[in-house]
Structure 1
Amino acid sequence: MLTLHCRLTMTLGEGVFWDDATARLYWVDIREGRLYWLDPGESAPDYTTIDEPLACVALHDDGGFVAATRSGLWRLDAEGRKQHCLVDGPQDSNVSWCNDGRCDARGRFWVGTKHDGESDPVGALFSYQQSIEQHLEGITIANGLAFSPDQRWLYHADSPHRRIDRHAFDLDTGRIGPATPWVDLDTLGIEGYPDGAAVDRNGHYWCALYAGSAVIELSPEGALLSHHPLPVPQPTKVAFGGKDRRTLFVTTARQHMSDEALQQAPLSGSLFSMPVDTAGLEDYRFRAD
């Protein structure tokens, strides 16, 4: 059962991941430009703030972070302070900017973009290592990015379509195949939009359902295995962490909610967690080469 882990008032909590080396949990509040971290044994997180929306970060193999922001990809130091821009935003930030992202097992940083107004299919999916490469286009809100345990599949969703696709993935070259429809939420008969996701060691895909008040678990064949309700309407991303990676953490949002809605769901914008039986996959670090 999902329970409250930290009571917060994040506008758009997202990008949660676990660092095994420090037993520290990281996540962001995109709209507020905040990078949060929660140390072992602490009940409340610390955070730092940058001067623009912060979509997601990954640990850098040389220390600090690589970060996807509205303006582009940045190198951050260990305290989350901007060092230098690695590459300008792959698209006009007035039209489409970074959203969901994570690294693959070779250390490439994958980032999907979203339309600023969240209504037009002008976003895309990119990867970055020594240079930036585009892999998909025609995306409205890129989400659900995750890899199978053997790195043979890349999962991805364009949230408004309520469908999760998968692509054959070549880890050596970083190339993906055409989209294959994998899970349709209409077919499953459940509410919400596929948002941030993570995969466990059995290859089960766990996904937050934005506007669906739940987290779901899907088999590698796309069957619904479990459905976990939350007391808030807008869960945004999941990550495995804690001892043996058998705790599922869930970020949430309170953006676009009326005063009445917030009164009915006062924990919106908080961090939740639940124990799980199967450990999650590790979160890979960015490598520059």
Structure 2
Amino acid sequence: MLEPHLTLTMALGEGPHWDVDQQRLYWVDILSGECHQLDPESNQHQVQRYDEPLAYVVPDDQGGYLAAFRSGLWQLDHQGQKQHHLVEGPQNPEISWCNDSHCDAHGRLWFGTKNAEETHPTGALFSYQEALTTHFEGVTIANGIAISPDHRWLYFSDTPTHRIYRYPLDIEQGTLGEPELFADTRALALPGSPDGAAIDEAGHYWIAMYGGGVVVHFDDRGNVVETLPLLAPNPTKVTFGDSDLRTLYVTCARQGLEQATLDQYPDAGSLFSTRVDTPGLPGHRYRHTA
């Protein structure tokens, strides 16, 4: 059972990332344009607010951050202030917005976009390392991006399809092969829709099920190992953190919930956590090459 770790009222909490070097957890509240930072040792919690919606923040190798705003990718300094607008969009912000992301072991950022209305396949999957590469289009809500411990597979889901795929990954070239189906959550009768994910050091895949109030733990063959409930209907993404990478953190959303549901789930929009047996993989910083 996942328990509330930090009580919040986030409209759309997302993008948790554990920084191994700083021993800090970062995440965002997209609609409020907030970046949250937590030191679990001291329980110090800081919030930085921006002037536009913020999809995720990833620490970089120069002491700053790479951040995806509604206007595109920005370089932030070590205090989190906007410095350089790196990439527009990368799609028309009236149509598609930045969504899920993951940095690979070479410091390359993989990220997807989603349709602004979440109804049409106008999004895509991209990678970025000083230059933007489009890998495929026709995505409605990009999610579930994670990379296997051996760097051979990149996982991805388009949330409304209820399917999770994995793509052969050439990490040296930053290219993808033809996908194979990893899991069909609807066929497995799992509640909710696949959202943000992370992988542990055994290669097991953990994913938040938006609308289902659970996190599902798959083995590396797509079999369900366990289902972890939480008292919030809309978990959005998971990550592994703390010094041993054995705390599973989960962000949640309360957007669109009726008052009766909020009364039933007062911790909706909070940060949840639980301890797990197998450590997660350390997160990677974005690496500048120029």
Which residue type is aligned with residue 96 of structure 1?
S
- Contact 1:50/1:82 (8 A) holds in 2: no
Q: Give the structure 2 partner of residue 152 of structure 1.
A: 152
User: C-alpha distance in 2, partners of 1:149/1:238?
Assistant: 17
User: C-alpha distance in 2, partners of 1:219/1:20?
Assistant: 24
Q: Give the structure 2 partner of residue 126 of structure 1.
A: 126
Q: Give the structure 1 partner of residue 107 of structure 2.
A: 107
After superposition, the Cα gap between the structure-2 partners of 1:185 and 1:40, relative to the gap in structure 1 and judged at 3 Å, is closer
User: C-alpha distance in 1, partners of 2:39/2:182?
Assistant: 37
Q: Give the structure 1 partner of residue 15 of structure 2.
A: 15
Q: Give the structure 2 partner of residue 233 of structure 1.
A: 233
Which residues in structure 2 correspond to 1:78-227 (within 5 Å)?
Answer: 78-227=78-227
Q: Deviation at 1:69?
A: 1.2
Q: Deviation at 1:77?
A: 1.5
Q: Give the structure 2 partner of residue 271 of structure 1.
A: 271
Per-residue CA distance 1:190-225 (angstroms, 9 max, x = gap)? 111111100000000000000010001001100000
- Runs of 5+ unmatched residues, structure 2: none
- Contact 1:61/1:287 (8 A) holds in 2: yes
TM-score (normalizing by structure 1)? 0.98
Which residue type is aligned with residue 223 of structure 2?
A
Give the root-mean-square deviation of aligned CA atoms. 0.9
Range that drifts further, 63-72 or 200-209: 63-72
Q: Deviation at 1:58?
A: 0.9
Q: Give the structure 2 partner of residue 58 of structure 1.
A: 58
What is the DSSP-based 3-state SS (H/G/I as helix, E as strand, rest coil) of the residue aligned with 2:220? coil
User: C-alpha distance in 1, partners of 2:232/2:40?
Assistant: 26
User: C-alpha distance in 2, partners of 1:6/1:146?
Assistant: 25
User: C-alpha distance in 2, partners of 1:70/1:27?
Assistant: 16
User: C-alpha distance in 1, partners of 2:164/2:76?
Assistant: 31
What is the DSSP-based 3-state SS (H/G/I as helix, E as strand, rest coil) of the residue aligned with 2:182? strand
User: C-alpha distance in 1, partners of 2:80/2:262?
Assistant: 30
* Runs of 4+ deviating beyond 4 Å: none
- Contact 1:102/1:110 (8 A) holds in 2: yes
User: C-alpha distance in 2, partners of 1:40/1:22?
Assistant: 11
**Seq. identity, %:** 51
User: C-alpha distance in 2, partners of 1:9/1:79?
Assistant: 24
User: C-alpha distance in 2, partners of 1:14/1:126?
Assistant: 19
**Does residue 68 of the first structure (1) align with residue 68 of the second (2)?**
yes
What is the DSSP-based 3-state SS (H/G/I as helix, E as strand, rest coil) of the residue aligned with 2:262? helix
Per-residue CA distance 1:22-69 (angstroms, 9 max, x = gap)? 211110001111000011433352110111110011111011100111
Q: Give the structure 2 partner of residue 46 of structure 1.
A: 46
- Contact 1:6/1:43 (8 A) holds in 2: no
User: C-alpha distance in 1, partners of 2:177/2:165?
Assistant: 11
Size of the aligned set, in residue pairs, is 289
Q: Deviation at 1:87?
A: 1.1
What is the DSSP-based 3-state SS (H/G/I as helix, E as strand, rest coil) of the residue aligned with 1:144? strand
Q: Give the structure 2 partner of residue 257 of structure 1.
A: 257
- Contact 1:11/1:29 (8 A) holds in 2: yes
User: C-alpha distance in 2, partners of 1:195/1:20?
Assistant: 23
Which residue type is aligned with residue 200 of structure 1?
D
Which residue type is aligned with residue 226 of structure 2?
S
User: C-alpha distance in 2, partners of 1:155/1:163?
Assistant: 11
User: C-alpha distance in 1, partners of 2:40/2:3?
Assistant: 18
User: C-alpha distance in 2, partners of 1:40/1:209?
Assistant: 25
Per-residue CA distance 1:57-107 (angstroms, 9 max, x = gap)? 111101110011111100011222111101111110000010001111111
Q: Deviation at 1:177?
A: 1.0
Per-residue CA distance 1:227-262 (angstroms, 9 max, x = gap)? 001101000000000121000000000001111111
After superposition, the Cα gap between the structure-2 partners of 1:40 and 1:189, relative to the gap in structure 1 and judged at 3 Å, is closer
What is the DSSP-based 3-state SS (H/G/I as helix, E as strand, rest coil) of the residue aligned with 2:151? coil
